[in-house]
Structure 1
């Protein structure tokens, strides 16, 4: 039985947004984990004589054989906690890391914790995940690939800051135990979404997220 597809992309929002050129950022601070530090000879030697570390559980992506296993929860980078243009752009990348985490695990609580009720993209995403993880079902794929992030960092009349995100989405496959429901197409051609965020006592909060093109 093929589940009816639900698109994450939405109709163009009626939001006045300045045209910004989104350039892909390589080596940006949008990585969800802390960076690796090179090991010195002393630390390497100490590792060989110290106690054997407990091996961490191995990550396994979802496939026709089963759902993803041991998916690490993205960690907010320190830059994304700063009230600045760079902090907002890093927060936007982290926001999409949590969207992808939800696709892999069915857990939408982390994204809900930093998103408001006006997040139209969130509502669509929540429905997709609820449908894809009903009973013992799971989703494979569907990752959103961020290709550019840009903000003019101008305060709106509502007290928010806008950031534009250029992204594309991979196709996703829907499975259940012993059954393949079908494939939902992504959008390989980049689209643009907008996050309107407010900086609060506990950091950035995505009050509104819409699709504006694509």
Structure 2
């Protein structure tokens, strides 16, 4: 893994490309033992808890600066979710021709396909600000802010392959574009 991918993984994958939001030591749901054969069975009223995929907030459905900023926050929530669960489908749908995004999705998927898990690395933005551009009639926004991430550990089978990344703050920018289906990420990276 080259140095730039490691940095991206540590502060964008760790937080965007990082996985943490609802991470715990065991993201698998715990099931109660089956009822004994002597006790009558009754339906359980306890819901099984676990990470739930974020939903697009109403604030991200416009085509102004506030909507662009809300979309970028939502995108990072999807990164956090993907890192916790290994479910990258929703994250894939939010980017278009974004090599960094594709690399992050591939990295997360590969960790889980190899039997690994990602712990920590939850990312969130602060101090977001969007500047608009128009290209070929489509509004685009360059959203800049500080990406703050927690410490992350990538656990792979066999401890020799495990990876750790410190948390931290990184000036970050995300170029987004409005399409007929809503916003998509075109590029992202360190400012």
The TM-score, its normalising length taken from structure 1, stands at 0.62
d(CA) in 2 for partners of 1:121, 1:202:
21
**In the alignment, what sits opposite 1:142?**
121
Structure having the higher helix fraction is 2
- For 1:83-139, what per-residue CA distance to the aligned partner results, in whole angstroms no more than 9, with x for missing partners? 22211111110011111111111111111111112x132133123213321332211
Say if 2:170 and 2:190, in contact at 8 Å, map to a contact too. Answer: no
Say if 1:7 and 1:124, in contact at 8 Å, map to a contact too. Answer: no
**In the alignment, what sits opposite 1:162?**
142
d(CA) in 2 for partners of 1:180, 1:126:
23
Aligned partner (choices 70, 78, 93) of residue 98 of structure 1? 78
Distance 1:150-1:202 versus aligned 2 partners, 3 A rule: same
- After TM superposition, the structure 1 = structure 2 runs for residues 50-199 of structure 1, keeping only pairs within 5 Å, are 54-58=45-49, 70-117=50-97, 119-156=98-135, 159=138, 160-176=140-156, 179=159, 181-195=161-175, 197-199=176-178
The TM-score, its normalising length taken from structure 2, stands at 0.68
CA RMSD of aligned residues (A): 2.8
The unaligned stretches of length 5 or more in structure 1 are: 11-51, 59-69
- Report the 3-state secondary structure (helix = DSSP H, G, I; strand = E; otherwise coil) of the residue aligned with 1:190: strand
Distance 1:174-1:4 versus aligned 2 partners, 3 A rule: farther
Q: Does 1:7 align with 2:3?
A: no
